[in-house]
Chain A
C-alpha cells in the first residue's frame, strides 16, 4: 500500500482523545468517586538504613476517623514478595518495610482513615523505634568488598554482573591503530509525570472479585496483583478506562496496588492511595537509571571505529524490581547506528540505599546513546576529524539493511545518511557554524552538538530471558477486537490504559484505513482486564507496531468475512470480488452494499457462506515481528524495528554565569510510516523536552547522609516553556518491512538523543579551554567552575 492509496493513515487528523481532555472531562483515578472509600497516608522512614525495633500506632488508632494502621510485618505475612526481574530471590521487596529500612522515605506503615487529611494527621502520631544501620549511596562504593549489603541475605550489593563478548573484540583491539578511554555518568532523573501515581481497590466478598482502578502503565499488572495477593487470576479485574496523567514508563505502582488491595479485602471497603508529591518523589519507586559508563574504544586513523568495550554500572536503589533489565534493552542497539564490528559489554547493577529505580522512557537506551555519542565525539577530537564526517564514515549505509549487529539484533531498515543530509541542508550547517563562531567572537561560550541514534521499537522483552535464564519469554503479544454491530457501526476494543499516546486515535485510524470507513465514525472501547484479549501495555515504543498491527489485522479478517458474504450472495468466487469502502463488487459490475452485508451477517444465517460465523466480529493477537527465538550464545533479536533520529543543536552561554541557552534545535526523524502526524510530532517535541531536563536540570540528588535533597518541584527542576526552544523537525520516512503500514515506534523519540546532543554542544563550547564535563545533568555551577579552573591553570 502506498501513501497515495491511504486515506487516513499519515493524514493530519485530529487526535480524538483531545476533546475530553480540553473539556476537563478526562477520567483520572483521583476523579473517581466511590462511596465509602477509605484513604491511605504513609509513615515514611527518616533514615536511609535502620532496623525496625517497634511500631507504636496506639495514639494514631485512638484518633477519630482512623480505621487501621498496617505494618510490614502484617502485610508480608499475607502477600508474596513483589516480582523481581532477575533471579534474585533473597532480594525481597514488600510494599512496606519488613524488619529493615533500606532508604530514606521508604514506607514503614500505612494509616487508613475516613479522609486523606485525617490519615495524614494520624501518620504523624505513629511512633517508629529504630536502630540505625550503616548505609551506602554510591554505586562504586556499593561494589567494594567491605560495603554494607543493602540486603544481607543476598550477601552482596551485586544484582547483576554479566559480560558479553560479541565478535572478535581482542583481535579488533590488537589490530586497531588507535585507542582511547572515557568515562561518562548519567545522573538519576526520571520522567516525573504531573499526575502522581494513584490507585483504588475494592473487594467484593460475595463475588470474590478485586476491582482495581489505577494510574498505571505496566505489563502484566493484573497477573502481578493476583500473584502477590494469592488470588486466582480471574479474581482481579483492572479497569482500563482510566486516563493516566502522564507516565513515560514510570507509572508502575505495583507496591501501592498490593497495599491497597490487601487493605480493601481486610477492611471490606474501597481503599484509595493517591500519592502526594513528596511521597511520589521520595518513595514512589519511580526514579530512573543512574549509570556510570567506562568505555574503551579501538579505531583506525581514517576514523573507522573497530571495536568498543563498555562497562555500564547502574545504581538500582534499594530493591531489584525490573531496574536491571534497563541494562539489557540497549543491547539491541549497542552499536547505535554504526558499523562497529565487535563489542564487549559488561552490565552491572548494584543495590544502594536510594529509592527504587523504575522503567523510564527508552528503558536505558537514552543513557547508552549518550555514552556512544560522547565516545564518537571523543574519537573525532582525538583524530582531528570533523564529528559529522566521523559519523558518516561509520554509519550503516542504506543498502546494507537489513543489518545485523554483533549482539544479534537485525536492524530492519534505515537511511541514516539521507536523514543527516536533509537536516544539514535544512539548518544550513555552514551558516550554523558561522553563527557559533560569531557568538564566540562576542565572548560567549558557544557550541554545536550532534547526536545520531536509534529508537528500538516494538519491544518483545527479550532482555528478560537474556539476563535471566529461568525466564522463557519469547512473546510480548498485543490483541485487538473489531466488531460491526447489527446497525452497521464499527467498534474496536483495545486492552490497556493510555497515558497520552493516543491509542484510541491509532486504533480508529488503522481500522478505518482497512475498512475504508471514516475513523471518526468508529468507536474505541477499553474493556476491563477480564474482558480483554492478551496484551502487554504501551511500553517499549510498541503500540503503533503492535496495537496498530493487531487492530489492522482484525479489521482485515473482518473485511475477508464481508467479501465472502458478498461473493456468496452474488454467486461469485470471493477472489474475484473487490472491496471498496464497505461495498463488494463483482467483476460484472454488480455490487452489494454495507447494509445488506450487515443484515446477512447478523440476521440471515441461511445466506452465509459455509464456514462463516454469524455476528461480524474478528480478533487478532499480534506477535512481535521477528520475536521467534530465545537467546542463544548471549545473542538475541531484541526489538523488531529501529527508528532513527539526528539532532543538531546550537547552544550559547556566558562563561561566568554558564546559564545554557539553546539557540537552535533541529531534529531529523525517521520512524517509518507515521500513523498520525500530530501524535508523532508531539512525542518527538516532548521527548526533546525530557532530554533537555535530563541534560541540564533534573536529578534526584542524595546527600552524604542518604537523604533525598530534591523532594519537591522547587528542588527537582523541570524545563518550563522558557527552557524548551522551538524545535524544527525534518521528516523522513523509511518504511519498516516488518509492519502493516511500514510504521516503527516513536514514543521515546527525542529523549533518546537530546541529552547526547546537548552535552555535545556544551563540550564543543568548552573546547577552546580543552576541558570536558562528563556527568549529566550539566550543572551551571560545574560548567562555570570548570572554565574558571581551566583559566586559572592557564
Chain B
C-alpha cells in the first residue's frame, strides 16, 4: 500500500467527520495552548529576571570607605545627597575589605590593586612570579610580603614550609607573569602578609604615594556600601559626585559585573526586581502548577483520544481486516488519523497563542508601573512583550518534548488497543446488524 493511500484514508476520515474531528482538534489545541502559555510565561519571566539582574547589577556601585573615619549613617547621609543614587546598602565582613583594611598605609588615590601569587620556589628565586593581575593600569613599584611561600591554601591557611625572604628582594626587580604577559616591578618595601586576613601571598602594586609599612591589628578598617544608580546613563555622574564627597577610600569597585567581584554579584541578584520576591514566588508557583496540570492533561487527553478513536472504529477495523489489511496496515491508518488531528490541533494552538500575545502586548502596557526600580516601561516592553521576539521567549525544546511524548503515547496506545480489539472483539463488531 502506498504512503499517499494511507494519508488519503486518514484525511478523508477527518474531512467527512467534520464535527467530531473539530471537537478533537479544539480539545488538543486548548491543551497545547495552555502549555505554550505557561512555557511563554516561564521563559519570559526567566529572561526578564536575567535582563533585570544584569540591568540592575551593572548599576550597582560598590564603594569602600574607612569605617574609622565615618560611621555607616554618615556615609548613607552623604550618599543620600546625590541625585540618581538609590537603595544604599552596607556590606560588612568582605574578605577583600579586610585585605585592604589591614594595609591602611596604602593611601592611594587611584589604580591600586593586588596580585595573588602562585609559584614555585624556583620561579621565585628567579625573580619571576606567576600571578593574576586584577586591575589594569598597574604602575611599576610594589611592596611584597615579608615571606613569600611556594604554595599556600588560602581557605585553610596552610603554608608550605618553603619560602623566600621578601626583604632580600627590596630594591630588586621582579617579574610578574600573568598568562602570556610579563610585568616588571621594582620592590620598594615589604609587609607582614600573615597578619592580613586570608592573604598570605598577596603582592601589592601601588603608586608613588606609599609612605611606610606598619603592621595593622585592626581587621575591620574598611567597610563597603552598595549604591544602585537609577539609570545606566547616570553611572558616571554618580561616581563623580561620590568622589567629590571625599569618602572613597583606596578603591572603588566599579560595578558588580566587574570580573573581580563576580562571586559577590549573585548575593545581590534577587534583591532588586520589578515584582517583589513574595509575589514572584507566587507567580512562579502558579506557573509550576500550570505546567504540571497542562502536561498531565495533554498526556491524559491524548491517551484517551487514542483509545476512544480506536474503540469507536471497531467496525471499520474489522472491515479492513476482512478485506485483507494486515494488522500493521490497520495500525498505520489509525495512527496517521490521530497524528493528523494532533498536528492540526497544534497548529491551531500556535495560532491562538499568537493572537493572545498580541492582545497581551496591547493590554498590559497600560498597567505596568513606569518607575519601579528605575526600569522604564519601554524596557519592560522590550524584555517581555515584544511580539517579534516570541521565538526567543518560547523554549521550543520543552514544547517538542510534549509533542514527542504525545506521539509516543499515540503509538503505544493505538497499538495495544487495536491488537486487543483484533484479538477479542473484531468478529462481534462485524457480525451484528447495522
Asked if A and B bind, the verdict is: no
